[in-house]
Amino acid sequence: MNGISSLNGISSRAIGLGLRLPHYRHIFAEWPEVDFFEIISENFMGAAELPRRNLERILTRYPVVLHGVGLGIASADPLDYDYLRRLKALADFTATPYVTDHLCWTVSEGIHHHDLLPFPLTEINARYVAEKAARVQDFLGRPFGLENLSSYVAFKESDMREWEFHRRVIELSGCHYMLDINNIHVSAVNHGFQASEYLESVRWDKVLQCHIAGHTRREDGTILDTHDAPVTDAVWELYGRAWKLSGGFRTLLERDDKLPLFPELRAEALRALEFQED
């Protein structure tokens, strides 16, 4: 069983959805039953009033968790404290029980690439990332989870497997996993490793939440983490294995493109129940 049981009304087996703009109309009209929503932090960190007003309405009915794409914890550039202040303010505003972002870099020499970029998986880099992640968690004042990437390149310099690196960072930093089951599948195919090895290495007591999503396969065989399709059978199968190993976790379905109607997406998220065998 997951060590972090219930957080701000989000039970340890809750099933949530990514909150996306085209679904607002349906949500505000129907107030469908959803355990929790996950928002992309950066969409609510600016000065725009409308996103904030919509978020206020959501918060009257649902717990919300924050998931970022812009922190770039592994960037060699220093931590951006202006960004972190905004993130902390949003975390306080939403009363999110935890904040997550990706185990990646995004900015180099002040230039933002707006992508989740990979880097060599080495001990020295694990220590560097862990030290920064610990500071972020301390600054935010709540559990901070790091998500494994879908990646399309691997580096000669890497001397750790991805799951070893992920676990090393979590253990050194005292932070948490934001485990993306789809990303494990994508990277396993792209880099030729066994997804089950990843799952077996996870410290399940440190998992805040798991993501599931769909992906796209290119002609050259590379799988891209596009979030534009339903979850594949292979990812559901992996999800079921993760559930058995862990004893349960919070589940979040991500969909960013080719969005179906909300009821359809909700039904897809609830398919998770079929794979939750204890």
Partner 1 sequence: MDPVPQIQAQIQAPEGLRALQSEFGRSIREPFSFATGRFACRTRKYSAFAAEAILTRGTQGSRERLAVYNEQYWYRLLTAMQEHFPLLGAGMGLWRFNRLATAFMVRYPSRHPFLERLATGFPAFLREDRPRDIRSIQSADLDFAFIQAFHAPGLPSLDPARLTRSESESLEDAPLRLQPWLSLCKEDWNLMECRTRLMEGFPEKPAFRAQKNHWAIIRKDARVDRVRLTSDQFRLLKELADGCPLGEACLRTCASSAQAGKGGEDSGGGSLAGSLSGWFSQWTAWGWFVHPAGAGLLTKKRT
**Residues near partner 1, by CB under 8 A:** 42, 45-50, 53, 70, 74-81, 83, 85, 88, 105-115, 117, 119-120, 124-125, 128, 131-132, 135, 139, 152-157, 190-192, 220-222, 224
Q: Give min distance, CB of 168 to partner 1, in A.
A: 15
Closer to partner 1 by CB, 77 or 197: give it.
77
Tell me if 238 sits within 8 A of 181, measured CB to CB. yes
> How many Cα atoms within 13 Å fall on the side-chain side of residue 149?
25
**In terms of CB distance, is 63 or 118 closer to partner 1?**
118
CB of 24 to partner 1, least distance (A): 13
Minimum gap (Å) between residue 61 Cβ and partner 1: 19
Nearest to partner 1 of 120, 174 (CB atom): 120
In the bound state with partner 1, the residue whose beta carbon lies nearer, of 194 and 233, is 194
The least CB distance from residue 231 to partner 1, in Å, is 21
Instruction: Find the shortest distance in angstroms from Cβ 254 to partner 1.
Output: 17
Nearest distance from C-beta of residue 179 to partner 1, angstroms? 23
Q: How does DSSP classify residue 42?
A: G
Nearest to 168 by CA among 193, 146, 151: 146
DSSP annotation of 68: -
Helix axes 162-173, 123-140, angle to 10 degrees: 40
Q: Give the Cα separation of 16 and 252 in Å (integer).
A: 5
- Coil, helix or strand at residue 15: strand
Q: Rg of the chain's alpha carbons, rounded to an integer?
A: 18
CB of 124 to partner 1, least distance (A): 5
Q: What are phi and psi of 161, to 5 degrees?
A: -75, 160
Please report how close the Cβ of residue 104 comes to partner 1 at its closest, in angstroms. Answer: 11
Q: Which is nearer to partner 1, 3 or 22 (CB)?
A: 22
Q: Please state, in angstroms and rounded to a whole number, the distance separating the CA atoms of residues 5 and 123.
A: 31
> Pseudo-torsion of CA 182, 79, 41, 127, nearest 10°?
30
Q: Do 103 and 129 contact (CB within 8 A), yes or no?
A: yes
User: Looking at the DSSP assignment, which residues form a beta bridge with residue 179?
Assistant: 210
Token output for 42: 């950066």
Judged by beta carbon, residue 129 or residue 199, the one nearer partner 1 is 129
Nearer to partner 1, 71 or 199 (CB): 71
Contact 184, 195 (CB under 8 A): yes
Closer to partner 1 by CB, 224 or 270: give it.
224
| Residue environment code for 162-175, b if the CB has 16+ CB neighbours within 10 A, otherwise e | bbbbbbbbbebbeb
